[in-house]
Structure 1
Amino acid sequence: MSEILGPQRLGPLTPLVGDWEGNAGIDLSYHNDDDITGQTTYFEKASFTPIPKQENGQQKLEGLKYSMVAWRHGEEAMIPFHDEVGFLLWDKAENQVIRTVVFGRGIAIQAGSTCQPRDKVIHFKADPGDPCYGILQNKYLLRRAELQGFTSTFTFNEDGTFTHESDLILKLAATGEVMHHTDKNTMHRVKRIHPSAEIA
């Protein structure tokens, strides 16, 4: 990935601006209907758009609002199986990236990462009960698939793509065991938010 010039107001989030697609997604999860853990491959679209500077007293945050939607392969013309919306915020003074995300399953997570402005890898982490980087879930999920931890990584690759990976640690009532629900996909940019008409 060529070096991005300029002031880097968005810090390590700078490369994300634009619309993205990825067709090599792999989801590993528990399939309730079949009572098995298995893989699902998927197509995904994502959009990252800058927001106005946010100010909390002396704190100044630059950031992006974003959405990520995924369809199982073979179901692209149907209802997506995954939908999330959220914000990615850069706190330059604290060297923190904050990922605030809501999943359409009744889950809300605020995860954090310590970063430098031009880092190529962002590691997010959240834990239940943490007052800053924590996890909320609806009552049914707390009983049936308790979310006990969340980690996620964004990696900016040399070819201009970015790869996202996530790991949700779940305690499943159906099996009595703890499992890792993982996702991974590599995204390529299909639209720039830029005065240039260039498509990357």
Structure 2
Amino acid sequence: MNDPILEHLGPLAALAGTWEGTKGDDTAPSDDRGVEQNLFRERIRFEPIKPPNNHEQQLYGLRYATTAWRLEEENPFHEERGYWLWDGAANQVLRCFTIPRGISVLAGGTVEPDATSFELFAELGSPTYGICSNLFLDQEFKTVRFELKVVVHDNDAWSYEEDTQIQIKGKPDLFHHIDKNTLSRVQL
């Protein structure tokens, strides 16, 4: 991809392109509010976007779309759409996304421009990096914190681990909904 925006994306530049992972692991709440394990495959597409006009703040970013399928199944069990953004003046990576279950997240963190690993977070009630859910999820499966760790291994592989911390109604302890995968580039 020969896009001049890539030189302004800091640590996100390595993510541009299309990626596939075939050995994802999802620990999620089951239908009976217990625990279920799902092995999955996924496809993520990151496309550079024209920098948005945000007054003095200069953001560069990638539009992204994720689709995940349980192994051996045809229909996806997870989709999300959003943006990964780089604010080079503040050394901030932002990830804003929506999941069609009725939840939106804006996660962020301080990251060096040449970093090959970084962490982002969002917390319920935060005025900056926060979480917003629909009424049902807020009452039954309240997401109180989101943590993301990203490691870029080389030009053709990266991995992530997400910890979505959920307060399930009637349960005393937080549920750690963990998603993790290693992805390989299939197209630049």
String of CA shifts for 1:85-140, please: whole Å, max 9, x gaps.
00011101000011101111100000001111110012110001111100000000
1:24 shift after superposition: 0.4
Tell me how far apart the structure 1 counterparts of residues 31 and 102 of structure 2 sit (CA, whole Å).
17
Tell me how far apart the structure 1 counterparts of residues 36 and 78 of structure 2 sit (CA, whole Å).
16
For residues 18 and 7 of structure 1, do their structure 2 counterparts lie closer, same or farther at Cα, with a shift above 3 Å needed? closer
For residues 58 and 159 of structure 1, do their structure 2 counterparts lie closer, same or farther at Cα, with a shift above 3 Å needed? closer
For residues 64 and 174 of structure 1, do their structure 2 counterparts lie closer, same or farther at Cα, with a shift above 3 Å needed? same
Q: Counterpart amino acid of 1:29?
A: A
1:97 aligns to what? 93
1:198 aligns to what? none
2:124 aligns to what? 128
- Once the two structures are superposed, the pairs formed by residues 34-183 of structure 1 within 5 Å of their partners are 35-75=33-73, 77=74, 79-158=75-154, 160-173=156-169, 175-183=171-179
For residues 7 and 28 of structure 1, do their structure 2 counterparts lie closer, same or farther at Cα, with a shift above 3 Å needed? closer
SS in 2 for 1:8: helix
Give 2:185's match in structure 1, choosing from 180, 184, 189.
189
Q: Counterpart amino acid of 1:42?
A: F
2:31 aligns to what? 32
SS in 1 for 2:8: coil
Q: Counterpart amino acid of 2:11?
A: P
2:10 aligns to what? 11
Tell me how far apart the structure 1 counterparts of residues 42 and 98 of structure 2 sit (CA, whole Å).
17
- For the pair shown, the structure with the greater C-alpha radius of gyration is 1
Tell me how far apart the structure 1 counterparts of residues 140 and 122 of structure 2 sit (CA, whole Å).
20
Tell me how far apart the structure 2 counterparts of residues 188 and 7 of structure 1 sit (CA, whole Å).
19
Q: Counterpart amino acid of 1:164?
A: Y
SS in 2 for 1:53: coil
Q: Which runs of 5+ in 2 are unaligned?
A: none
Aligned residues of 1:8 and 1:117 also touching (Cα < 8 A): no
TM-score after normalising by structure 2 = 0.93
Tell me how far apart the structure 1 counterparts of residues 178 and 85 of structure 2 sit (CA, whole Å).
24
- Percent identity reads 36
Tell me how far apart the structure 2 counterparts of residues 32 and 89 of structure 1 sit (CA, whole Å).
34
Query: 4+ residue stretches of structure 1 with deviation over 2 A?
Result: 174-177
Q: How many residues align?
A: 184
